Amino acid sequence: MSKPKVVLAYSGGLDTSVAIKWLEEQGYAVVACCLDVGEGKDLEFVQQKALKVGAVQSYVIDAKEEFANEYALMALQAHALYEGKYPLVSALSRPLIAKKLVEVAEKEGAVAVAHGCTGKGNDQVRFEVSINALNPDLQVLAPVREWSWSREEEIEYAKKHGIPIPIDLDSPFSIDQNLWGRSNECGVLEDPWAAPPEEAYELTASLETTPDVPDIIEIGFEEGVPVTLNGKHYSLAQLILELNILAGKHGVGRIDHVENRLVGIKSREVYECPGAMTLIKAHKELEDLTLVKEVAHFKPIIEKKISEIIYEGLWFSPLKDALSAFLKETQKYVTGIVRVKLFKGHAIIEGRKSPYSLYDEKLATYTSDDAFDHSAAVGFIKLWGLPTKVQSIVNNKKVTV
C-alpha cells in the first residue's frame, strides 16, 4: 500500500527542507509546492532542491497575476494598512498559498497539507484557517511547530540527513517577500529603541543615497485599478513590480512598525513596500477627487475591517465577501490620472484629474465665477447647530439655578 501524501508549502529554506525529511519519517510521501508571488527567487533551483531532499514531486506555480489581481488589488482599493502602518504583505499571500496547496492536494489525492510556520507568528493562523475554510477534510500539519527543536538540533538533523545548509543561515533576519513588499523581523530589530541597520533593507535605497533629481510619473486608474504607468499599459503584477523598482530607487516605502500580533504579543517589524505605498497614496488621492463625501467618510470603517480580517487570517470568510462587495461598488468612478513625484523617500501627489471629478471650480472658487449660494449657509448653520444650542439653553439654565 502506498504512503499517504502530504502537500508541503516549500520555500527552499532550511526549515521546509528539513520538514520534507521529517514528514517522510512520519510516513508521508511529500509533494513540495512552491509559489511565485513575486519574491524574485530562483524557482527552478528551489524546485530541484525539493526533489533532491526527498520530495516525491515538486510543483512551482507562477501565481503573480492571480496574486496581484485577486489579493493585492483589494488591499490597494481598501488602502489596507494594519494599525495604520503595515500593508499586509505576508498576510495577503498566505491565503493564496493555502488555496494552491489545497488545489494540489485535491489533484494529488493527498490527505494532508503542511506549512513551515512556528507557533508564535500570524502566518500559522492564516494558513490553517484558510485551509480549513477551503477543504475542512484535509489535515493540517505544522512540522516546525511540532518538533520544537533549537537551531542547533535542527542543523544537526539536517547534517545527519544530508540536507544542504544555506550559506546565509547566520543571517540575523527572517525575511518574507512578494510583489506587494518585503517584511523583515528578528535579530537587532528586536530592540525597538535601536534604528534598523541598512542591511535590513533590500528593495529601497537609503535616503542618503537616493538621486538628487526626482522622477515624475503618471499612474492611470480605471475603476480603481491601476492600468497605466506613464501612459503605457501594464498587467497589474508587472505594473507593481515596475513601480517597486522606480519608487524603490527613490527610497519610497520603508516602514518600521511595533505591531500587535493576532497571537497576543507585540513584535517589531520592518517593511519595504515602494510600489504598494505609491499606489495606495495615488489611489487615495483619486478617491478624494471622485468619491462623494458620504462614501469618503464611511469607507474608512470598511477599510479598517478589511485590514483586520486579512491580518487575522479570515480571507476565506463570508465577511470578506461582503466587505469586498461594498468596496467594488465604490470603485465605479475611480478613474483618472495621478501625477506623482518620486523624490527623497516621498511619493508626492502633485496633481490628479478624472472625468468623474466631483471637484467643481465654479463651486469652490473665491473669484467672480462663484456659483455657490452663500445665503444657504445661514439656514444650514441654524439647523446644524440647533441641537447644541437647545442643549446649551436647557442645561446652562439648569446648572445655574
- Cite the active site residues: 15, 94, 123, 174
Which of 139, 171, 230, 391 touches a copy of itself (CB under 8 A)? 391
Measured from the CB atom, the residue of 92 and 189 that comes closer to a copy of itself is: 189
Shortest spacing between CB 360 and a copy of itself, in angstroms:
6
The H or E element that residue 306 is part of is: helix 293-311
Backbone φ and ψ for 346, nearest 5 degrees, come out as: -110, 145
Give the annotated binding-site residues for ATP: 9-17, 116
Specify the residue, 24 or 269, whose C-beta has the smaller distance to a copy of itself: 269
Q: How many residues bind a copy of itself (CB under 8 A)?
A: 129
Beta strand ranges found along 65-142 (DSSP E): 112-114, 139-141
Give the separation between CA 93 and CA 80, rounded to whole angstroms.
14
| CA proximity to 11, closest of 176, 135, 169, 241 | 176
Segment 284-313, which members bind a copy of itself (CB under 8 A)? 284-285, 288-289, 291-302, 304-305, 308-309, 312-313
Q: Which is nearer to a copy of itself, 231 or 318 (CB)?
A: 318
Binding of a copy of itself by 393 (CB under 8 A): yes
Q: Which residues contact 335 (CB under 8 A, 6 or more apart)?
A: 221, 222, 223, 224, 286, 290, 354, 355, 356
37 binds a copy of itself (CB under 8 A): no
Stretch that binds a copy of itself, among 6-14, 51-59, 91-99, 266-274 (CB under 8 A): 266-274
Q: Rank residues 70 and 242 by Cβ distance to a copy of itself and give the closer one.
A: 70
Query: 334: which DSSP letter?
Result: -
Of 8-16, 63-71, 95-103, 120-128, which segment contacts a copy of itself by CB under 8 A? 120-128
A 10 A CB-CB count for 43 gives: 16
Residues near 395 by Cβ (< 8 Å), separated by ≥ 6? none
- Give the H/E segment covering residue 329: helix 318-330
Q: Taking CB under 8 A as the criterion, which residues in 148-167 touch a copy of itself?
A: 148, 150-151
Among 84, 167, 231, 400, binds a copy of itself (CB under 8 A): 84
Please report where in the chains the cell 475542512 appears, as a residue.
136
The DSSP 8-state label assigned to residue 70 in this structure reads I
Q: Does 245 bind a copy of itself (CB under 8 A)?
A: no
Contact 198, 206 (CB under 8 A): yes
Query: ∠ CA(138), CA(143), CA(149), 5° rounding?
Result: 165
Binds a copy of itself (CB under 8 A): choice among 191, 209, 231, 400: 191
What's the one-letter identity of residue 18?
V
Cβ at position 1, least distance to a copy of itself in Å: 28
What are the cell numbers at 330? 465604490
205, amino acid identity: A
Site string for a copy of itself, 356-375 (x = CB under 8 A): xxxxxx-xxxx-x-x-xxxx
Site for a copy of itself contains 314 (CB under 8 A): yes
CA angle 133, 78, 175 (to 5 degrees): 70
Interface characters, 317-356, with a copy of itself (x: CB under 8 A): xxx-xxxxxxxxxx-xx-----x-x-xxxx-xxxxxx-xx
The reply on whether position 118 binds a copy of itself by CB under 8 A is yes
